[in-house]
Amino acid sequence: MSVHYGWLGSISDFLACSPSDWLATLQANYQALYRMRSTGTQNQAWEECGEILRSQFANLSHKSWTLIFEYELPGEGGRRPDLVILGAGRIFVFEFKQKATLSNADLDQVAAYARDLSEYHKASANHPVTAILIPTWYTKENAVRNTVQILNPTKIATYLESLTETEIEIDSAQWVNSIYEPLPTVIAAARRIFQQEPLPSIRRAQSAKIPEILEYLRQIVDRASEQKERHLILITGVPGAGKTLVGLQFVYESDRPAIFLSGNRPLITVLQYALQSKAFVREIRNFYLQHEARRQSAPRENIIVFDEAQRAWDAERMSEKYGISSAAPGAVLRICERVPDWCVLLGLIGEGQTIHVGEEGGIQQWNEGLSESWQVHCSSEQAKYFDTTVHTNDLLNLTTSLRSHLAHHVQSWVAHVLNGEIEQAHSVMPFLIQEGFNAYLTRDLEAAKNYCRSRYQNQSDKRYGLVASSRSRNLVKYGIRNDYISTQKLNIGAWYIDPPDSENSCCTFDRVVTEFSCQGLELDFPIVGWGDDLIWKENTWVTTTRQKNVRDPLQLRLNSYRVLLTRGRDGFIIYVPPESKMDQTFEILRSSGLLLLDDEK
């Protein structure tokens, strides 16, 4: 098994090893791992770290603790804490920074290491994991900020000696070779499905009952094919609950002809860009044109997944766009009735995410399009929309967000804010912080960009970038180019997929995605530009936008911001432009519990 760490040994081994031999081992293992030599800056940081630890560990050689330098989190694209210590049944994650002050990015980076080890690393699961930040020129006393222990470099030994040793030792060989199963992004998950690799058995996915849902779907397929029946299944869920993942896996694992369709063009574009394939992931528009608008042919697939089905257009919009006289659900159902013998149609519906003109009809449209040949499966919550008898199963309502690691409370915080329930939002925020989800507020866009760059430095798999509402008119002058022309020129596949050093990557902060280009997709850390299309005035949210054919423009704005605020895996920063008309909005967001992003402490 290849080594995925820089140096491993006990405290006494470390003290007995000459500084030059220790450094040479780190350099050799780094070169073996990354096929390149460590930089002069990296070597200098290692030397300083080694010097500090040798003086601090001088009187701790009696402890049989294990030191693991530069442990790489498997499959995480080079994410590696400076030092992990296994001792007294505990795990300590150390990050050294060559500075005298603390920044939010540094605190959040080491907290995320600890969170991910605790959540995804099998051998760490039953042990307390402590995040420790050491600014090497820090002169103040040891302190705790949120979940992070901050240590003065001359007080490391004092801190470690104060810990009571009551637990059994952790087996270091077992620990470094343990299974580590991080949560994949939709894109990474799709790639693994296509490469026929098993998806990680994520504990979060287990708790969200995704394996049981897939088994339920397989049983319906078996029944439909044996008894020559047609079944409509609707899965609803909060943003990031894994609906797309369920659809992709269901289609891919099927041994019968299957296709994954979406009205979400950016999602399809990004998936096709990532997979370099257009085989079974297609845009719903082409499906309508091929099988309904042009020639009323039958699809060859018995299993059809319609992702982002909340984007199903009403009859007026379908007529305007395709010359089809019924709402989208009716059109899809009619097309699926032509599939010979049997059909299973799975609709994946995101809650509170209708953001386009013509999308306001809701689930009732599925009921209106049904003929007697269909059997319906949905959660008990959705059954009220149907006149016919339905098979209810609450597995079909996904209530847990997988996107934001452990932040089960992100959805409720966003809902409270957009409902104007500011006190309730404020009371939820401590739970987000405790779970390692970092939510900030700023009026300094450069500070927000610097946070992202600093937090994810040397982590080429991480993605951060600018997101903003398409209807905001005051963001362009601050460098958030959410205007129509700029967003149309965007290469959406490259924006999400390309590495940070590519000029087309989201990490350059050069281009912006709007609610239309990020629904169903995610970033590790978005900067959300909050514009003048949704402002707080006289104790409520108001919108100044006017759109043709929109019944409730405020609701579309609220839904757009719900999409924007639920894209982040590790957290988000809300940027409010520094102009007087935005002051009340800034203050109400501040009152909702967001931390102010002040760069240094």
In angstroms, the CA 131 to CA 243 distance is: 33
Strand partners, 30: none
pLDDT score of 357: 37
What is the Cα–Cα distance from 354 to 310, expressed in whole angstroms?
6
- pLDDT band for position 354 (cuts 50, 70, 90): very low
- Distance, in Å, from the CA atom of 364 to the CA atom of 367, rounded to the nearest integer, reads 5
Report which of residues 539 and 435 the model is more confident about.
539
Q: What are the pLDDT digits (tens) for 495-547?
A: 998 889 999 999 999 999 999 888 778 899 999 999 999 999 999 999 987 76
Distance CA 390, CA 407 (A): 33
pLDDT value at residue 192: 66
Select, from the ranges 206-220, 308-322, 442-456, the one with the highest average predicted confidence (pLDDT): 442-456
Name the more confident of 484 and 599: 484
Half-sphere exposure of 85 (CA within 13 A, CB side): 20
The DSSP secondary-structure symbol of 316 reads H
Average pLDDT over residues 340-359: 69
Residue 463 burial by Cβ neighbours in a 10 Å radius (0-12, 13-18, 19+): buried
Residue 195 pLDDT exceeds 80: no
| Residue 508 per-residue DSSP state | G
Q: 3-state class of 242 per DSSP?
A: coil
Across the range 307-321, mean pLDDT stands at 64
Half-sphere exposure of 471 (CA within 13 A, CB side): 21
Using the predicted structure, report yes or no on whether residue 460 has a pLDDT greater than 50.
yes
Q: If you average pLDDT over every residue of the chain, what do you get? A: 86
Expressed in angstroms, the distance from the first to the final Cα of the chain is 42
User: Which one has a higher pLDDT value, 189 or 484?
Assistant: 484
Whether the Cβ atoms of residue 328 and residue 287 lie closer than 8 Å to each other: no
- Phi and psi at 32, nearest 5°, equal -65, -35
For residue 8, give the nearest of 179, 176, 177 by alpha carbon.
176
Given a contact cutoff of 8 angstroms between Cβ atoms, the answer to whether 391 and 377 are in contact is: yes
Mean pLDDT confidence for 270-283? 77
Residue with tokens 């920074």: 97
Average pLDDT over residues 183-209: 61
Q: Residue 396 above 50 pLDDT?
A: yes
Domains of the chain: 7-176 (no CATH), 186-398 (3.40.50.300), 410-596 (3.40.50)
Residue percentage of the chain with pLDDT more than 70 = 85
Residue 361 has pLDDT above 60, yes or no: no
pLDDT of 55-113, one tens digit each?
999 988 888 899 999 998 876 767 899 999 998 889 999 999 999 988 999 999 999 99
pLDDT exceeds cutoff 90 at 422:
yes
What is the mean predicted confidence (pLDDT) over 176-184? 80
C-alpha–C-alpha distance, residues 561 and 431, integer Å: 21
For residues 133 and 334, the model is more confident at 133
Listing DSSP states for 52-88 in one string gives HHHHHHTT-TTS--EEEETPPPTTSSS---SEEEEET
Say how far residue 4 (Cα) sits from the centre of its chain: 25
- CA separation for the pair 360, 247 (Å, rounded): 23
